[in-house]
Amino acid sequence: MTGPEAHHLRTVLRLSPGDPITFFDGTGARYQARIERILKDRVTATIIGQTRDLPPKVHLHLGQALLKGQKMDLILQKATELGVEAIYPFYSEHGIHKQPRDTQMDRWQRIVIEACKQCDRATPPEIHTPREVTDLITQPPPCDARLIFWEHETRHTLKDVLAPHNKDCRSVLFLLGPEGGFSETEVACAQKEGFIPVSLGPRILRAETATLAATAILQFTLGNLDPVLPDDQEKSPCAPLSNG
Ligand code: SAH
């Protein structure tokens, strides 16, 4: 390892030869290794094992309206911790229209990588380029169930919506609106395209609260928060690393 990661191991974590470390290659592999040598510009380690995350029981895709300030950062971090597999940021009628700069996309990547390290997740969520909500509604990624969280919904709760799907449902796309909410037209368009409007109760939640609550409830209901036994982890032989 070289660069900031090597610096972090040497000067922040103050690791010594023989210490165990775990690291990720960003493509889904998690390596267990032992530090060999700590040099000025790099750290070398011997890989002693490799595992991958098990695939989730149900693939969860979050469509998130772009939010102001640091709220997107919070959502990306928490969605990563909670195991969301892909994030589709979108522009909408009552939300942000300004295209995020490349630096912001890079920052989002860094946030999810840091969250992965912190929560021991080997496969970072995919962050898609922001698009119009109407594009996401009319050309969604293939999913067995599509939901739109709407504070004016009076019929459907998450409980009723997921119960009939539970057995055959392998993937869910769920949309959360901006601070200004979804427009009536957006909700009608989503319904026409097969999205089910869902309520999170009688109180209007802040956008970021709604996303975190919806994500946690969905993951729990879909079985993605069940513990994984160590023996269930996919084990595979060590693979050489490109940059040591
Ligand atoms: N501006 C709107 C509220 C938007 S809240 C108003 O004041 O009326 C931001 C987003 O959180 C909404 O678009 C919706 O997706 C979600 N949300 C908040 N409270 C909700 C609730 N009780 N049920 C379902 N979704 C909710």
CB-CB contact of 87 with 76 (8 Å): yes
Question: What is the torsion angle, in degrees rounded to the nearest 10, for the CA atoms of residue 17, residue 18, residue 21 and residue 25?
Answer: 70
CB-CB contact of 207 with 72 (8 Å): no
26-35, 61-70, 110-119, 197-206: least confidently modelled range: 26-35
CB 162 less than 6 A from any atom of ligand 1:
no
What is the pTM for the complete model shown?
Answer: 0.89
pLDDT at 1 over 70: yes
Report domain extents, the chain: 3-54+228-236, 59-221
The third-level CATH classification (topology) of the domain covering 59-221 is: Alpha/beta knot (3.40.1280)
- 151 CA distance to ligand 1 middle (Å): 4
Say whether 59-221 and 3-54+228-236 share the same fold: no
Nearest CA to ligand 1 atom 16: 210
According to the model, what pLDDT value does residue 240 have?
37
Strands of the chain, DSSP E: 20-24, 29-38, 43-52, 59-65, 86-91, 126-127, 131-132, 145-149, 171-176, 196-198, 234-236
Question: Hey, what are 87's tokens?
Answer: 């994030």
Sign, CA torsion 74/80/83/89:
positive
- 145 CA distance to ligand 1 middle (Å): 20
HSE (side-chain half, CA atoms, 13 Å) at 75: 29
Per the document, the length of the chain is 244
CB 176 less than 6 A from any atom of ligand 1:
yes
CB-CB contact of 34 with 48 (8 Å): yes
Question: Hey, what are 194's tokens?
Answer: 């097969």
- Alpha-carbon span 32 to 24, nearest angstrom: 9
Question: What is the tens place of the pLDDT at every residue in 37-50?
Answer: 998 888 899 999 99
- 228 CA distance to ligand 1 middle (Å): 33
Question: Hey, what are 133's tokens?
Answer: 């909500």
Question: What is the tens place of the pLDDT at every residue in 174-195?
Answer: 999 999 999 999 999 999 999 9
Considering the chain, what percentage of its residues have pLDDT values greater than 90?
66
Find out if CATH 2.40.240.20 is the number for domain 3-54+228-236: yes
Nearest CA to ligand 1 atom 4: 181
- 70 CA distance to ligand 1 middle (Å): 18
Cβ neighbours of residue 229 closer than 8 Å, sequence gap 6 or more: none
- Alpha-carbon span 221 to 214, nearest angstrom: 10
